[in-house]
Structures are given as C-alpha cells and as structure tokens.
C-alpha cells in the first residue's frame, strides 16, 4: 500500500528542550495509525508539524508524494487534544465558518452539516450557542468540525480523553467507518486498549525519538516472551518436576484441585515441548500462550527493560 | 485572501451581534450630545417669572432699577416688618429691601426675602444693576462724567497671523481646545479598539479554538484578519457615532444657538464695515455685543475649521495608529493566559499612549514647541499629537513625514507581532516573561 504520509528525519527544537529528534516514519494509506508515547514525548509537536501549525527545524514531510504545503490543509482534518469552540457563537454558524476555512463553499458546508446533524440527531442545536450545550454535545460538534470537509488524512490528538464512554464508542465507530470510506486516521493516545482494537500500525515516541514502529500484530509477535498459562487437574509437585529446568513458574493459583500456573519457558524451549512434558502427569483444562498487550510493550519499551516482569503485567490471552 | 475575508467577516459579525456593542454605538453619541446640551442649558439660567416687591429705604433706585421680560419690580413705601409678613399673600414672589445706609456700606444693607429661591441669575441681575447705579451715582457726586470713564476703556483682541515657509500670511485662530479634543478622541479610539483586538485574541486562546483555526489558516492570516476586522468595525462605529453626533448637534445648535448665529452674522458685518471705513464709522450706531464676544469667538473658530481635512486625517491616523498599536496588543493577547497576567505587558504599551495624550494637552498652550513637533513625528505618539495639531495648520511635509514613519512602523510591528503571535497562541500554562517572548521571535 502507498504511503499517504512520509516523515523524514524531522527534528524540532524549542529554546530549552528538544521536542523531536530525527524522527522518521511512514503512514500507509487507508490505515489507522497509532502515535504512542508518554506525556511530553513529542507527539503533539509532531502532530502540529503535520498540521503545518509549526514547521520542523530540519527534515521534511511528504504528503501523497508532494512536499507538505499550505494547500494540503484542506485535505487534513485535525482534532486537537485541547478542544475548544467559540462559546458565544451558534453551533451552525461556527461549523459553517470553520468548514469554510477548510475550503468548502458555504452551500456545500451547509449541505454536509445538515447531513451530520441528522446523523447525530442534533438538528435542534443549529441556533444554540456552544456555551448552552453539555460537554458531550460540544464534543460531537467538535468532531463534526474535524471531519466535515471529508479529509483524506484525519489526525486525532488523544481523541478518547474527555469523551464519555458513549461518545468514545461513537468516535471509534466513526474512525472505522471513515477508514472504510478511504480515509487514513492518525491518532495519538494513552488508551492502549483502543490501539489494539483500532490500529493497523503504530509508532512509539519516547524522549523525542521514535523507539518502535510497525504493525500491531508484528510488534506483539516479536515481543512474545515465551510465556504460557496452563490450567490442569492433578499434582502440582509432579507438574513442577516435569517442568524441571525448562521453565520458571511466575504465578500459581489453586482453586479446589484445579491449578492455574503462569510460566515462562527457558530460551529454546517451545510450547509443544512443554505440552509433551506435562501431558502424561496431569489432566489439562486449558493451555494458552500469553502474548504481551500493547500496554505491556509500551511500559517495557519506555522503561528500557528488556524482559517483562510477569508479576507486574496484565497479560491478555 | 478568501480565508482572511472569512476571518474579517466573522470578527465583524460576532461584534455586530453583540448587544452591548450596538447599544454603545448609539448611546455614546447620545450621552455626549446630551451632556453638551446639559452644559449649555446649565449656562443659560432658567427664566422663572419673578414679581418683586421693592422697599427702597435708600431712595437711590426708584425708576433706575428696572425689570425685564420676566422680572417685574414694584416699589412700595411700606414698612419692612409689615411687608415681610404679607408680600407672598399679595402675589409677590419675593421682597427686596435696601437699607437707608447702603451708600455708606453697612453690613446687611440689601436683603432678599422669598419663599422659593429666585435663583442665582436673578440675584446677579439685580446686584449688577445696583452696583452700576451706585457707581454712576458716586461718579456724579464727585462731578465726573460717566461717559469719560466708559470711553477710556478699550478692549483689545490680538489677531494671530501665521507666516508659512512660502511667506504666505494666514489668519490664525487658536484651535487649541478643539485640537486637543480630536487628539483625545484618537487616544480613546486606539485604546478601545486595541483592547478589543487584545480580548478577541485572548478569547480564542483561552477557549482553545485557536488550534483548530491555525490548522486551517496561517497564524499570521488569522491575526491580520482579526486586526482588519476590528479596524473595519471601528470605522463603521466611528461613522455611525459621527453621523448621530452630527445630527444631534445640528438639531441642538438650531435649538440653542440660532440667535447666536444670527447675532454673529451682524457682528461680523459690523467688523467688516469698521475695517473698510476705519474710524469714520459712527460707533454709537453699532449694535453692542460685549457679553457675547466669547461665544462669537468659539463660533467663528468652528466655522474656520476645515472639517474635511480633519476627518480624512483622523481616519488615516486612526488606521495607521490603530494598526501600530493593535498588532502589539494582539501579540500580548497571544502571550498571556488570563487578563490578570496581562497587566505587566499592557502597562508598557499604555505609557507611550499616555505620553501622547499629555503632549496633546501641551498643544493647547504651545502648539509650535519642539516637544509637540517630535511628538507628532514619533510613531508611538504621532496619531494623538498630530491630530491635536492638525487644526492649527501643519506643513504638508510634516504630515507626509509623520504618516510615512507611522506606516513603516506599523508594518514593522505587525511583522514582529506575527512572530510572537504564532508561538504565543499555542503556549499554555507557563507564565510568560519578556525574555520568553524575545526567544519566540527566533523560532522557525
């Protein structure tokens, strides 16, 4: 798939700190791309550069094969982390104004706004001032502002923060629908659950540098730690003996005579070998490999640990 | 350009929808003219009918002290004690008693009894007459002809003639006060609309909408659109206010000053005649306007002012001066998070404006001093000071120089402000210092 966005060696410095240091990454067309990283890592700086709010000190950005230029702003939609609208302006006027700033004609903007108002069942809000709306309603308006010009590239900075669960779900559905309709979505988030749910690819930025990128599936695969959970009926001591030096038990839990054991196999030992070793001595109820969640990978990468401390992490099956 | 137009449009619309703005636009001229009318009314004393009973025990004033349209005097030989009790029953509004020892200067020699105060103007009217009668009386007692005294009084008016560089002489009346008022108006306008830009910028920053907007337009375009929008708004407001004030003052002057204008015409014709015929004119045939000279002076000055020139200069200086200051205000608005933090930045901007205002007051007394000259050239003060000078006649080269410097300066401040603005609007949480702003200038 072609890349809609190529970021090449972008650096950005402010007077007292480096916001981005030689960051390069590619965003594939019609994908959902997660931009991850702890607070202050440089995500918002990168997003602002893509939106041409600020410029990079060095490096360049290629949008659909062209060097990023002011004409492109009409093809990009942006939802900033800090949301805001004119408090005293009516919803209709406001969205029309912002849509026109994105290059739509007034008539076209009106048509599309009507469509969105019907979709979200908010026709009666047209003449209301923003300050008269609830926070959830304001967020819906803000979302419409972001997508009304049907951007090819949608950039959402922390889209789920501040949204209530219902609106957050609505945003998720919209993101997926927009992608189905051919848009590319970049979003930054701390919410790792949503990353696994939505993202095709991610990049992890830490201390102004990209420390990881790739497809979510690949990343999770390469970060496998050879950890398994076995539930069985039988003798725990026998189980431990069978394991011998092939692995290390991280956690065990016994309920009546059912044991649940989380264990990390030694390098070179496979899941099949483990199964073969324990099959004769116990009655196996379940057997899973625990693949690290994006959350674990995030924490691990950011902490510069090279192994997952099993007792601290939450594995998903 | 289309985007800047959109921004300008929104800026104007949002203010025009604002009720306070509309009310102020209409109310301000009403208040100003209302105040003016009130002041004029105050100087013209109220004329309530006064029916006065006079008991003149000094016997000096009988047939000499006279009434007028609304004051009628009746002399009586009654005793004061009796009259005091009965004067109001007999239909007199007040009772004037003059003691027999008035001419010797006894204390409490003249007394006025009343139920309802006849007002200060009435007192002055009576007092002036009595003083004049006593004055003439005393002169006669010393065998001095009162005409000699009055003929030896001569009032003098200095006529100013300004000689310009080409050697042309031009009648020059001092327009000090009017000039100062235009300067003060300029001060008010620049400050008012500068603050409007400041608030508008800060509103967008604090409501955080600015980040959405600058993802569609360049920050500089946003700032420019905002400044131009407020400028157009200012000019619209100025024109509306000007029109209302013009209509009201015209109505007012026909009401109050109609007689005065007619009298002024007679006065001017007479002066013309005296100029032509010299001393051959029979002065005693001329109407006398001694008490109205001050008003004539004012009216004459107003007639001589070139309002068209003042108007054009006002608009030009407003636009340039406003652009100069409002771009600074926009930069400040972008740099702060709340109005409370803004004081340390606004004060240094206010100071040159205030200085301009004070130099403008100096033009009343001293229109050609070097302070005033430099004040009208330096861009920080020139809009205010030059406006206060303009009615006095300013050489064209000074006007051109001052306007050109102001023009170049506003380009410079706008450019500078643009650099601060685009960084400032995205800075939150940190308390900004001058040093910090200095650094922003060098961001890419």
Chain B contact present for A53, CB below 8 A: yes
Under a CB-based contact definition with an 8 Å cutoff, are residues B36 and B248 in contact? no
pLDDT band at residue A306 using 50, 70 and 90 as cut-offs: very low
CB A274 within 8 A of CB A247: yes
Q: How far is CA B424 from the centre of its chain?
A: 40
**Spatial distance between the Cα atoms of B210 and A162, rounded to a whole number of angstroms:** 19
Residues in B whose CB is inside 8 Å of some CB of A read 3, 6-7, 10, 13-14, 203-204, 207-219, 422, 426, 428, 439, 443-444
Note whether A40 contacts B: Cβ–Cβ < 8 A: no
Q: Is A143 on the interface with B (CB under 8 A)?
A: no
pLDDT tens digits, B255-265: 766 666 677 77
CA distance B179 to B176: 5
Q: What pLDDT score was predicted for residue B26? A: 84
Q: Domain limits of chain A?
A: 3-219, 223-302
| Residue A162 in contact with partner chain B when CB distance is under 8 A | no
Identity of the highest mean pLDDT range in B75-79, B105-109, B162-166, B432-436:
B75-79
Output phi, psi for B396, to 5 deg.
Answer: -55, -40
Question: How far is B89 from B80, CA to CA, in rounded Å?
Answer: 15
Q: What is the mean pLDDT of residues A110-119?
A: 90
Longest CA–CA span in chain B (Å) reads: 99
Tens-place pLDDT, residues B60-103: 888 788 887 778 888 888 888 888 888 888 888 888 888 888 77
- Name the phi and psi angles at A155, rounded to 5: -115, 120
With pLDDT > 90 as the criterion, what percentage of chain B qualifies? Answer: 15
- Tell me if chain B has a CB within 8 Å of the CB of A15: yes
Q: Greater confidence, B353 or B258?
A: B353
User: β-strands A184-189, A153-157: how paired?
Assistant: parallel
- What is the C-alpha separation between B287 and A77, in angstroms, rounded? 82
| Of the listed ranges B17-31, B42-56, B106-120, the one predicted with least confidence | B42-56
- Taking the CA of residue A176 and the nearest CA in chain B, the distance in Å comes to 22
* Assigned token pair, A79: 């939802």
**Residue with more model confidence, A76 or B47:** A76
Mutate to test the interface with B, among A17, A77, A87, A101 (most CBs of B within 10 A): A101
Q: Is A76 on the interface with B (CB under 8 A)?
A: yes
Highest mean pLDDT among A56-65, A190-199, B240-249, B269-278: A56-65
Q: Chain B: nearest CA to A15, how far in angstroms?
A: 7
The overall average pLDDT reported for chain B is 81
CATH architecture classification, A3-219: 3-Layer(aba) Sandwich (3.40)
State how far residue B1 is from chain A, nearest Cα, in angstroms.
11
Residue B312 burial (CB count, 10 A): 12
A80, two tokens: 């900033």
pLDDT of res. B411 = 92
Model confidence at B278: pLDDT above 70: no
Contact present, B356 and B383 (Cβ < 8 Å): yes
Please answer yes or no on whether B207 and A82 come within 8 Å at the CB atom: no
Alpha carbon distance B150, B139 (integer Å) = 12
Q: Where in chain B is the domain with CATH 3.40.190.10?
A: 50-144
Judged by CB atoms closer than 8 Å, whether chains meet at B212 and A84 is answered as: yes
Nearest to B56 by CA among B110, B120, B113: B110
Of A55, A87, A102, the CB nearest to B207: A87
In tens, the pLDDT along A216-229 reads 888 888 888 888 88
Instruction: Indicate the SS3 state at residue A12.
Output: strand
Question: Helix H segments across B87-175?
Answer: 120-141, 146-151
Q: Which residue pairs from B80-88 have beta carbons closer than 8 angstroms and sit at least 24 positions apart in sequence?
A: B80/B55, B83/B53, B83/B55, B84/B113, B87/B53, B87/B113, B88/B115
**Exposure pattern of B167-195 as b/e (b: 16+ CB <10 Å)?**
eeeeeebbbbebbbbbbbbbbebbbebbb
The topology (CATH level 3) of A223-302 is Alpha-Beta Plaits (3.30.70)
DSSP-assigned states of every residue in A213-269: EEEHHHHHHHT---EEEEEEEE-HHHHHHHHTTSEEEEEEEEETTEEEEEEEEPTT-
d(CA A289, CA B2): 59
Task: Give me the total of CB pairs closer than 8 Å, taking one residue from chain A and one from chain B.
Answer: 68
Which chain B residues touch A85 with a CB distance below 8 Å?
A: 207, 209, 212
- Å between A119 CA and nearest CA of chain B: 23
Nearest CA in chain B to A73: B216
Pick B208's closest partner by Cβ from A57, A82, A88. A82
- Chain B interface includes A88 (CB < 8 A): yes
Handedness of CA A297, A301, A307, A312 (dihedral sign): negative
Task: Report the distance separating Cα A105 and Cα A95, nearest Å.
Answer: 12
Chain B residues with CB inside 8 Å of A50's CB?
none
Among the listed residues A110, A137, A154, A313, the one whose alpha carbon sits nearest the alpha carbon of residue A225: A313
Chain B residues with CB-CB distance to A147 below 8 A: none
Instruction: Say if the Cβ atoms of B212 and A88 lie within 8 Å.
Output: no
What is the helix (H) or strand (E) element at residue B28, kind and residue range? helix B19-43
Whether chain B has a CB inside 8 Å of the CB on A115: the answer is no
CA distance B87 to B116: 13
Residue A307: which pLDDT band, with cuts at 50, 70 and 90? Answer: very low
3-state secondary structure of B391: helix
Q: What are phi and psi of A59, to 5 degrees?
A: 90, 170
Distance CA B35, CA B37 (A): 5
Query: CATH fold of B50-144, please?
Result: D-Maltodextrin-Binding Protein; domain 2 (3.40.190)
What single-letter DSSP state applies at residue A42? S
How many Cα atoms sit within 13 Å of B106 on the Cβ side? 11
Q: Write the pLDDT tens digit of every residue in A250-284.
A: 888 888 888 888 888 888 788 888 888 888 888 88
Average pLDDT over residues B152-174: 67
CB contact under 8 A, B212 and A57: no
d(CA A176, CA A172) in angstroms, rounded, equals 6
Q: Which residue of A has its CA nearest to B208?
A: A84
Interchain pair B211, A53: CB under 8 A: yes
3-class DSSP assignment, residue A187:
strand
Burial class of A176 by CB neighbour count within 10 A (0 to 12, 13 to 18, 19+): middle
Q: Is A15's CB within 8 Å of B439's CB?
A: yes
| Cα dihedral B10, B14, B16, B18 in deg (nearest 10) | 180
Residue A291 to residues A60, A196, A225, A227, B332, Cα–Cα distance (Å): 36, 12, 7, 8, 53
pLDDT of residue B2 exceeding 60, the answer is yes
Contacts for A220 with CB less than 8 Å, ≥ 6 apart: A291, A292, A293, A294, A297
Residue of A nearest to B222 (CA): A101
Contact A270, A227 (CB under 8 A): no
Cα end-to-end span (Å), chain A:
30
Confidence of residue B324 (pLDDT cuts 50, 70, 90): very high
**pLDDT band, very low/low/confident/very high, at B281 (cuts 50, 70, 90):** low
Q: Residue B125's Cα: distance from chain center in Å?
A: 30
> What is the spatial distance between Cα A248 and Cα A244, in angstroms, rounded to a whole number?
9
Q: Look-up: residue for tokens 């009084």?
A: B153
- Contact at CB, A86 and B212, closer than 8 angstroms: no
- Test B212 with A82 for CB contact under 8 angstroms: no
Contact B215 A73 (CB under 8 A): yes
Rounded CA-CA distance B206/A85 in Å is: 10
- pLDDT band, very low/low/confident/very high, at B412 (cuts 50, 70, 90): very high
- The DSSP string of A100-150 is HHTT--HHHHHHHHHHHHHHTT-GGGTTSBGGGS-HHHHHHHHHHHHHTT-
pLDDT at B293: 64
> Quick check: B209 and A84 CB within 8 A?
yes
Say whether A223-302 and A3-219 share the same fold. Answer: no
pTM: 0.74
- Comparing CA positions, the residue from B323, B317, B329 lying closest to residue B376 is B317
Average pLDDT for chain A: 84
d(CA B208, CA A82): 6
Q: Of A159-173, A234-248, B102-116, B275-289, which gets the smallest average pLDDT? A: B275-289
Half-sphere exposure of B41 (CA within 13 A, CB side): 8
Chain A residues within an 8 Å CB radius of B426: 48, 53-54
Residue where the block lists tokens 């955080």 = B208
Q: How confident is the model at residue B176 (pLDDT cuts 50, 70, 90)?
A: low
Residues B334-361, mean pLDDT to the nearest whole number: 86
* Among candidate residues B144, B139, B72, the one with its CA nearest the CA of residue B103: B139
Whether A22 has its CB under 8 Å from any CB of chain B: the answer is no
Helix (H, G, I), strand (E, B) or coil at A211: strand
Residue B113's SS3 state is strand
Sign of the Cα torsion B269, B275, B278, B279 reads positive
In 3D, which of B14, B416, B434 has the Cα closest to residue B209? B14
Q: Which residues in chain A have Cβ-Cβ distances shorter than 8 Å to B334?
A: none
The answer to whether A108 contacts chain B (CB < 8 Å) is no
If you measure CA to CA, which chain A residue comes closest to B439? A15
Query: Which of B7, B387, B11 shows the shortest CA–CA distance to B236?
Result: B11
- Model pLDDT, residue B167: 63
CA distance A182 to chain B (A): 22
Nearest alpha carbon to residue B93 among B131, B67, B59, B128 = B67
Question: Which residue in this structure is represented by tokens 């007040």?
Answer: B94
> Would you call A11 an interface residue with chain B, using a CB distance cutoff of 8 Å?
no
Mean pLDDT over A35-49 rounds to 87
ipTM for the complex shown: 0.79
Structure tokens at B348: 């240094």
Smallest Cβ distance to B6: which of A85, A87, A100?
A: A100
Indicate the DSSP class of residue A74. Answer: G
């Amino acid at each position: 798939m072609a890349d809609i966005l190529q970021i090449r060696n972008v650096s950005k410095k402010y007077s007292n700190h480096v916001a981005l240091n030689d960051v390069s990454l590619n965003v594939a067309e019609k994908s959902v791309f997660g931009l991850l990283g702890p607070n202050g890592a440089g995500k918002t700086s990168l997003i602002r550069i893509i939106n041409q709010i600020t410029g990079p000190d060095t490096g360049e950005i290629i949008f659909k094969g062209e060097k990023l230029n002011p004409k492109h702003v009409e093809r990009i939609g942006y939802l900033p982390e800090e949301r805001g609208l004119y408090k005293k302006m009516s919803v209709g006027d406001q969205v029309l104004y912002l849509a026109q700033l994105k290059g739509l004609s007034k008539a076209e903007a009106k048509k599309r706004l009507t469509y969105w108002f019907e979709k979200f069942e908010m026709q009666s809000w047209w003449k209301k001032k923003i300050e008269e709306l609830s926070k959830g309603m304001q967020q819906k308006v803000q979302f419409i502002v972001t997508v009304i010009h049907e951007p090819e590239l949608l950039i959402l900075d922390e889209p789920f923060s501040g949204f209530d669960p219902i609106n957050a779900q609505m945003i998720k559905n919209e993101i997926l629908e927009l992608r189905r309709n051919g848009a590319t979505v970049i979003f930054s988030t701390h919410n790792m659950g949503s990353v696994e749910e939505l993202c095709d690819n991610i990049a992890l930025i830490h201390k102004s540098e990209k420390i990881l990128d790739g497809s979510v599936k690949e990343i999770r695969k390469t970060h496998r730690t050879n950890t398994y959970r076995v539930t069985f009926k039988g003798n725990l001591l026998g189980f431990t003996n069978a394991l011998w030096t092939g692995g290390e038990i991280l956690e065990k839990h016994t309920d009546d005579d059912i044991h649940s054991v989380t264990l990390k196999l030694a390098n070179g030992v496979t899941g099949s070998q483990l199964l073969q070793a324990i099959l004769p001595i116990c009655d196996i109820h379940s057997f899973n490999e625990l693949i690290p969640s994006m959350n674990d990978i995030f924490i691990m990468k950011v902490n510069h640990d090279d192994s997952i401390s099993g007792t601290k992490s939450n594995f998903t099956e | 350009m289309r985007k800047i137009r959109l921004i300008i449009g929104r800026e104007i619309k949002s203010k025009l929808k604002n009720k306070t703005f509309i009310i102020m636009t209409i109310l301000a001229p009403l208040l100003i003219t209302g105040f003016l009318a009130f002041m004029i009314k105050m100087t013209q004393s109220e004329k309530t009918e006064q029916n006065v009973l006079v008991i003149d025990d000094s016997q000096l004033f009988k047939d000499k002290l006279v009434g007028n349209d609304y004051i009628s005097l009746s002399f009586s030989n009654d005793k004061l004690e009796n009259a005091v009790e009965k004067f109001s029953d007999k239909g007199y509004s007040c009772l004037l008693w003059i003691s027999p020892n008035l001419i010797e200067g006894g204390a409490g020699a003249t007394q006025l009894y009343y139920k309802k105060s006849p007002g200060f103007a009435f007192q002055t009217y009576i007092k002036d007459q009595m003083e004049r009668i006593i004055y003439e009386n005393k002169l006669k007692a010393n065998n001095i002809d009162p005409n000699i005294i009055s003929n030896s009084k001569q009032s003098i008016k200095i006529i100013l003639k300004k000689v310009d560089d080409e050697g042309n002489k031009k009648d020059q009346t001092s327009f000090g006060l009017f000039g100062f008022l235009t300067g003060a108006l300029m001060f008010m306008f620049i400050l008012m609309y500068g603050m409007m830009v400041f608030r508008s910028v800060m509103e967008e920053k604090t409501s955080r909408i600015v980040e959405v907007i600058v993802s569609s337009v360049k920050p500089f375009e946003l700032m420019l659109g905002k400044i131009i929008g407020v400028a157009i708004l200012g000019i619209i407001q100025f024109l509306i206010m000007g029109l209302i004030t013009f209509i009201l003052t015209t109505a007012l002057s026909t009401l109050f000053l109609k007689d005065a204008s007619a009298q002024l015409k007679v006065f001017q014709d007479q002066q013309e005649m005296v100029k032509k015929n010299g001393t051959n004119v029979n002065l005693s045939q001329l109407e006398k306007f001694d008490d109205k000279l001050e008003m004539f002076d004012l009216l004459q000055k107003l007639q001589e002012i070139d309002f068209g020139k003042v108007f054009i200069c006002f608009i030009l200086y407003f636009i340039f001066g406003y652009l100069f200051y409002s771009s600074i205000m926009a930069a400040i608005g972008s740099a702060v998070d709340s109005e409370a933090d803004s004081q340390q930045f606004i004060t240094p901007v206010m100071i040159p404006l205030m200085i301009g205002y004070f130099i403008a007051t100096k033009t009343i007394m001293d229109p050609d001093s070097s302070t005033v000259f430099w004040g009208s050239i330096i861009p920080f003060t020139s809009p205010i000071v030059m406006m206060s000078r303009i009615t006095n006649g300013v050489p064209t080269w000074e006007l051109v120089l001052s306007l050109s410097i102001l023009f170049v300066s506003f380009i410079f401040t706008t450019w500078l402000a643009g650099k601060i603005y685009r960084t400032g609007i995205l800075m939150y949480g940190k308390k900004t210092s001058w040093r910090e702003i200095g650094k922003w200038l060098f961001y890419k």
